[in-house]
Amino acid sequence: MTVLSRLQAVTGLLFATMAASLLPAVAQSPQLTGMWIAIDDGFPRLVGSGIILPTEEILHFTSDGRAESRLLTIIGNETHYMCATGWGCSDMLAVREAKAELTGGSLVFRNRETTAEATKITQETQQLAANLTVISMSPQWVASFEAGGHRLRLETASMTRIFARIDPKRLNELRGALLPLPVPYSDHWRCFLSNATADDRAFDSVGGPRRAPGAWFENYLTAAAQLHRLEILTHTPTADDDLAKSMPDLAKAATMQVVNTILGQAAVWPKSVQERRKYRAPLLAITTIAKIGDEALAMQGARTLDPAYAGHGIAPAGIEALKKVLRGQEAGDREVSDLFCLDRKSTPQPRAGFDPFRGIPLPK
């Protein structure tokens, strides 16, 4: 699309909006339906500056014409605490919703509203992030599809946003991949995402050198996802927790109804410290095996603490992949270091056309 044609499309959006308001709601365009993750530099720059938590914007379009802007908390294992302290009660919090209509190259959001979940946010930086989402920023965008329909470019006269289509299950696998490593998500997530999606043209715009992972990577993702689930459950506050007894926020967190998409909507949260321990045992056992290779010691400890260990196990191929990453990180394995960007930070540097929030007054 040329600059001239884009400007023509922008000026035509007013007419598209007027026409859309006269039409009944219709089913969503198959081109839009699904989940999209932002791959421009907007939110990562805010994360790198310490303004917001490690967060990505998610656009979710349903087949019946609804659209949501969501805030994805990348690490996702502190949902109860975030809920109790005003950040929102979901690791993929829906903050804005609307009816979406794609007509030609015009995407119009009608009946834009703040979600009920977002009204509970009290943290100012989380409110800022919600106000910067696509549905919040403008009711009308010029929309174009790239990379075979798997990358979505949204433009107004003053802003460009870029999103890549992503499967929800895959997204949860990728966001858990950094958890076993002692590195901050804010420094390494985007660089890792670029490498992990190196075979997907939709993610070409993430930036940086892209190094596709080896065949072991899928087994590692499965194992890391299981570790991520165990880590979430072992971090769940309970009413009889000693810290919860002395800290009002933790005591409040133990009673919260939260949604964690990594665990699924039907997650059964531990109700006591004793119940929580059954998740701690296999977590320790698996990491012990992967880090030092003492399978006998780890299995013995797991059985002692939790007879139900077998229900939380990881396949041998997953254990081997965990060994490669955890031991490789300590030994300086080049493949592991390159994939997870262990020798450099991934906070985006300024790229022309990739920082949609440049020029918008933001807190220091």
pLDDT mean values, one per 10 residues, the chain (364 residues) = 42 39 51 94 87 93 96 88 91 97 95 96 94 97 96 94 95 90 87 93 83 93 87 86 82 86 77 84 71 57 45 73 87 90 66 68 66
pLDDT score for 17: 40
pLDDT score for 3: 37
Distance CA 189, CA 178 (A): 8
Looking at the chain, the domain(s) classified CATH 2.40.128.360 span 3-166
CA 108 to chain centre: 25
Q: Which amino acid is at 121?
A: I
Quick check: 99 and 110 in contact, CB under 8 A? yes
Taking each helix axis as running N to C, give the angle between helix 217-234 and helix 273-292, from 0 to 180 degrees, rounded to the nearest 10: 150
pLDDT score for 216: 95
Residue entry with tokens 């929102």: 88
Nearest to 174 by CA among 143, 200, 148: 200
pTM of the model: 0.84
pLDDT score for 107: 97
pLDDT score for 230: 84
Instruction: Please report the DSSP string for 84-108 in residue order.
Output: HTTS-SBTEEEEEEEEEEEETTEEE
Distance CA 350, CA 53 (A): 20
Instruction: Return the CATH class of domain 3-166.
Output: mainly beta
